[in-house]
Structure 1
Amino acid sequence: MRAADPQKLDDLMGRLVGDVGASVTGALIVLGDQLGLYKAMADGKPVTSQAMAARTGFKERYVREWLAGQAAAGYVDYDEASDSFSLSPEQAMAFAEEDSPAFFAGAFEVVQSMWVDEPKVEEAFRSGKGLGWHEHSTCLFRGTERFFRPGYNTHLTATWIPALDGVEDKLLQGASVADVGCGHGSSTILMAQAYPKSRFFGFDYHGPSIERAREAAEQAGVGDRIVFERASAKDFPEGKYDLVTMFDCLHDMGDPVGAGRHVKEALAADGSWMIVEPFACDSLKENLNPVGRIYYGASTMICTPASLSQEVGLGLGAQAGEMRLRKVALDAGFSHFHRATETPFNMVFEVKS
């Protein structure tokens, strides 16, 4: 055994204790989210474990332990004098308010899927065959939609589409839009709500996601302006669209260049391809940060196996970076590629012929 530096070992152990605590707390977040415990505290008023149990109908002993764990994590506030717990406005935004720009509980359903599906990914490592998106647990599909939706709510129609050259004017006047890899349809529905004169088509190869998207569109009152169909990125129906969008999915595709070629054929002559991808720099070293840590983890467990399960299996990964994404677009036959805007979590590109 090699000699270890005691101080470096202590530092590493400290980080590991923090990571174990985060992993354990992640399970408690999923539990509280699914049981509606955060929403039961959304008003911010202090509540004892007994009152919470009465309010939710759950056994007090379970509720008390969950509250204590959340207080230890700093995700609920505890007042010793009254032995009560409460959610601050910031905590409520993160855990109880689904439509807030800071809602984060859905992210932990994605993490849940990584733990549940770890044996499948382990086998993919051994066989090299990959693991399709559709082969994951359903918590991944639901969690992905809930994780990305707050960002889309905040940025999609307010800053991302306006950053594209002349696209918003087309949408306001009435345009044809294909949302490829639409999942549960959050992005498609948001655009349909913002641009009622336009017509939208959502495509995804995952049948259950398309079914959920149709239900969500009807619930949102835009079912008459959206057609959701099961189709892949390389065979969705051509329609000379004014805009084709791909939100956080291009890197999951086995043949993103082939998908790009199909987009080029499907676009109108002056149409735009909008690509939204996880934020990443071009060098690995620059991505060694908290956001990169999350995305590399998701890419190892979800994105790269998905790509390797398909034809070509390019395996871009969730931290592909602008240079590799640019190469995909140029190889697909496009000549114009630029970063239109960005957030700490996403890069938004506009691609044109």
Structure 2
Amino acid sequence: MATETKADSTQIDEQKLNELVETSLVDLGATVHASLAIIGDELGLYAALDDAGPLTSAELAQETDTAERYVREWLRSQAAGGYVTYDPETDRYGLTPEQAYVLANEESPVFMPGAFQLVASAAQIEPDLREAFRTGEGIGWHEHDDDVFHGTERFFGPSYGAYLIDWIESLDGVDEKLQAGGRIADVGCGHGAPTIRMAEAYPDSTVVGIDYHQESIEVARERAETTGVADRVDFEVATASAYDGTDYDLVTMFNCFHDMGDPVGVAAHVRETLADAGTWMIVEPYAEDRVEDNLTPFGRLAYSISTVACTPNSLDQEVGYGLGAQAGEQRTRDVVTEGGFTHFRRAAETPTSLVFEAKP
């Protein structure tokens, strides 16, 4: 007996079908490419192409002490994806300035190997995530592989280096306070990239980085020692709803507010710890308020990471609000004002970030 299905082949639009198959092929290539991009980063293949290219596969293998046959196949996959350029007349591969800026310059705000490291590592939790889909239970940030934490630092760190001070300057009167010597709390600091950046930019201010993940705090302390700011930055293992301290001139949260299990309770706690004229700066992934306006390449990435890491982390905590990485300005405003803040505005933005200013 034939089984009736909802998909009727006679109703299929061949052009739309071919477009979806083409999209699937692109995604399949991208899925495999992620691990190859990580290899290119970790083995110095991109860096060598930037420093010494254009190179043949044999020359690149010699430069990086790797096996030519693997390098040859890797180069061809990279060229097919548009990540490196190929000259058939010389059989050499190289990087354009734009490719080098994305793949070989770790100070670039669009440096991508860290992002590949993050998403490839986050995908390793798929068996637990599959079960979470069935049960509705959460998966804590601390349950991920270490490369998720390092990839997050390498992905977001350069953009904080490039934009952070501009974001602070967009806040009403905050830069002046910090220049004169203020108190800063960076909540959800991870490995401390923005915490340390603020300590460097405002040497007369004191900064505390706060994260519930003990291992990340240990790395952050090492980073502070290495960069020479350990005398004016401290780190505390605590949750966003129970960290210590009061009278902060600035509390910051970078791409983590949507991960909170109880964002309303967190907002209320931030309000309690701020000085009377203090400011809360919330940096969130760029998102419009309507779902249909977020159906973009960046929206797809943000929704996907949110499914794998952000929403499960929120559901693992008390309340389990599940705000999600594409909450948008209005939902973020609603949560912040419900937590007791009376002032909320968009202070700055980039193609991938929204920067909000909240005051009591």
Question: Any stretches of 5+ residues in structure 1 without a counterpart?
Answer: none
Which digits, 9 at most, give the CA deviation of each residue in 1:205-253, with x for residues without a partner?
0011101111111111111111011111011112311100000000001
1:298 matched to 2:298: no
Question: Any stretches of 5+ residues in structure 2 without a counterpart?
Answer: none
Structure-2 residue corresponding to 1:9: 17
1:118 matched to 2:126: yes
Point out the more displaced range, 204-213 or 25-34: 25-34
Point out the more displaced range, 120-129 or 193-202: 120-129
Structure-1 residue corresponding to 2:30: 22
1:44·1:89 contact (CA, 8 Å) conserved in 2? no
Other structure's SS at 1:275 match: strand
Which of 203, 209, 219 in structure 2 is aligned with 1:202?
209
Q: Name the CA distance, whole Å, in 1 between partners of 2:13 and 2:73.
A: 38
Structure-2 residue corresponding to 1:279: 286
Which of 150, 159, 163 in structure 2 is aligned with 1:142?
150
Displacement of 1:313: 0.3
Q: How does 1:309-324 map to 2 (within 5 A)?
A: 309-324=316-331
- Count of aligned residue pairs for this structure pair: 352
Q: How does 1:1-353 map to 2 (within 5 A)?
A: 1=5, 2-3=8-9, 4-43=12-51, 45-157=53-165, 159-353=166-360
Displacement of 1:106: 0.8
1:238·1:265 contact (CA, 8 Å) conserved in 2? no
Could you list the structure 1 runs, at least 4 aligned residues long, displaced by more than 4 angstroms after superposition. none
Q: Name the CA distance, whole Å, in 2 between partners of 1:7 and 1:219.
A: 56
2:184·2:250 contact (CA, 8 Å) conserved in 1? yes
Q: Name the CA distance, whole Å, in 1 between partners of 2:180 and 2:313.
A: 38
1:44·1:88 contact (CA, 8 Å) conserved in 2? no
Q: Name the CA distance, whole Å, in 2 between partners of 1:279 and 1:101.
A: 15
Q: CA RMSD in A?
A: 1.1
Q: Name the CA distance, whole Å, in 1 between partners of 2:202 and 2:286.
A: 27
Q: Name the CA distance, whole Å, in 1 between partners of 2:302 and 2:52.
A: 32
Q: Name the CA distance, whole Å, in 2 between partners of 1:197 and 1:215.
A: 21
1:75·1:91 contact (CA, 8 Å) conserved in 2? yes
2:83·2:99 contact (CA, 8 Å) conserved in 1? yes
Displacement of 1:44: 5.3
Which digits, 9 at most, give the CA deviation of each residue in 1:25-60, with x for residues without a partner?
112101111222111222252111111111111111
Q: Name the CA distance, whole Å, in 1 between partners of 2:224 and 2:87.
A: 43
Displacement of 1:149: 1.4
Q: Name the CA distance, whole Å, in 1 between partners of 2:136 and 2:247.
A: 38
Percent identity between the aligned chains? 55
Displacement of 1:193: 0.8
Q: Name the CA distance, whole Å, in 1 between partners of 2:54 and 2:294.
A: 41
Q: Name the CA distance, whole Å, in 1 between partners of 2:44 and 2:226.
A: 21
